[in-house]
Amino acid sequence: MCRYRLNQYKKDRLEISSELLAAFQSDDIHKFHKSIDEYQPTPTHSLQSLADELGIDKLLVKDESCRFGLKAFKGMGASYAIYRHVKEQWETKFGGSFEIDDLYDRSKLAELQLGPFCTATDGNHGRAVAWFSRLLGQQAFIYMPKGTADARIANIRSEGAEVTVIDGDYDEAVRRIARDAKENGWQVISDTAYPGYTQVPRRIMAGYTTILAEMEPGLYPDGQPEVDIVILPAGVGSFAAAALWYYYDRYLDKRPRFVSVEPAAADCFLESIISGQGQAKQTTGNLDSIMAGLNCGTPSVEAWPLMRDGIDLFLAISDRHALKAMRRYYYATGDDRRIISGESGAAGLAALLALMNEPSLCEAREAIGLDRDARVLVFNTEGDTDPDYFRKVVRG
């Protein structure tokens, strides 16, 4: 059973701090990503057979499963935030400017004597921090919640990072790494912001905007989005909020409508909206979902105001919906391309399948104009990051 809420706080302008705005408006974001050897824009696929089956005009999938060989979009945020951190350290310590190419100069990094990088993660962000730390020859410490799949731990260890699985959930891992980093002099590269820790997460959000920019001008040839509805997965909300800013800033009143999707067991944005106080709240869910990347109990304090102002429909789905979407992506029909999608990656399509098929979501579907003329964009944010489990799901 899905739960939803149409947003009573929706605004025509997003409330955004001047610091976050400055991060989004930095002119070095895309240029930085292009400096990474493995960088390639990811493809956007049109699944027309599935769109016809669902009774909508068009279904587009921006496929992040091949990003940097990490099988998820998270490298875009972590790499940019690390670059900006190193640049800031250099310029504070030595004066002068630190350019993008300087980041790959090992002698410069040695001079700077950076401490190790660290983060809490439910998988993909930690892998991204470990990967970029390795590229720069830096050590990384990664904390993961109890119950994390072995494959996700191995993915991070294979990047040379030290992984600690803590006896607690994701939110507890965030608290522990903040404490241990302080004691040990590590630099936290967290994708969630909390009171007193906002700078790095803002830059991570800024890094995600390249994902949106890559769809220009193909998807938006006339400066007008050729999509009506965008479905955004939300864990701590950094990715979804970055996408909201991008569309509001670029398309103003021509922007599409937005749906956020979370696991019912970790529906912190839906619960925050339902609470009716306009404040971010922790989920009352049990944080027990196979959608590991979305299994976060507390909204990022930087993402929350944008989500509150910009999302049209907050939706929470069950694991069953994610499993169905993973299979539907895999067993493509007609000329549609097969898409490899992990449990969290499939959440966008899972939301669309639920909205089109479940009678209890009829009001929500109509309210956002999800009809036969609708052109819908979803993000496959993750491939088979746990390959054994993926095989079981698609073969089971």
- Binding residues (CB under 6 A) for ligand PLP: these are 72, 74, 122, 124-125, 191, 233-240, 293-294, 296, 344-345, 381-382
Phi and psi of 314, rounded to 5°? -95, 130
Q: Which residue is nearest to ligand PLP (CB)?
A: 293
Q: What is the closest distance, in whole angstroms, from the C-beta atom of residue 39 to ligand PLP in the complex?
A: 19
- Spatial separation of the C-alpha atoms in residues 158 and 171, rounded to whole Å: 24
- What tokens does 128 get? 């991204």
Q: Give kind and range of the element (H or E) at residue 316.
A: strand 313-317
- Count of Cβ atoms closer than 10 Å to residue 104 Cβ: 14
Measured from the CB atom, the residue of 234 and 361 that comes closer to ligand PLP is: 234
Measured from the CB atom, the residue of 79 and 114 that comes closer to ligand PLP is: 79
Measured from the CB atom, the residue of 127 and 324 that comes closer to ligand PLP is: 127
For residue 137, give the DSSP letter: T
Q: What is the closest distance, in whole angstroms, from the C-beta atom of residue 281 to ligand PLP in the complex?
A: 16
- Spatial separation of the C-alpha atoms in residues 229 and 370, rounded to whole Å: 8
Name 51's Cβ contacts closer than 8 Å, sequence gap at least 6: 57, 58, 59, 376
Q: What is the closest distance, in whole angstroms, from the C-beta atom of residue 239 to ligand PLP in the complex?
A: 4
- Count of Cβ atoms closer than 10 Å to residue 380 Cβ: 28
| 3-class secondary-structure state, position 16 | coil
Measured from the CB atom, the residue of 90 and 304 that comes closer to ligand PLP is: 304
Measured from the CB atom, the residue of 240 and 259 that comes closer to ligand PLP is: 240
Measured from the CB atom, the residue of 103 and 301 that comes closer to ligand PLP is: 301
Radius of gyration of the chain (CA): 20
Q: What is the closest distance, in whole angstroms, from the C-beta atom of residue 210 to ligand PLP in the complex?
A: 15
- Positions annotated as catalytic residues are 74, 122
Q: What is the closest distance, in whole angstroms, from the C-beta atom of residue 204 to ligand PLP in the complex?
A: 8
- What tokens does 142 get? 């990664």
Measured from the CB atom, the residue of 79 and 238 that comes closer to ligand PLP is: 238
Please check whether residue 203 is in contact with residue 84, taking contact to mean a CB–CB distance below 8 angstroms: yes
Q: What is the closest distance, in whole angstroms, from the C-beta atom of residue 126 to ligand PLP in the complex?
A: 9
Q: What is the closest distance, in whole angstroms, from the C-beta atom of residue 144 to ligand PLP in the complex?
A: 12
For residue 5, give the DSSP letter: E
Whether the upstream peptide bond of residue 217 has omega within 30° of 0, thus cis, is yes
* DSSP assignment string, 38-105: T--PPPEEE-HHHHHHHT-SEEEEEEGGGGGGTTBTTHHHHHHHHHHHHHHHHHHHH-S---GGGGG-
Please check whether residue 187 is in contact with residue 116, taking contact to mean a CB–CB distance below 8 angstroms: yes
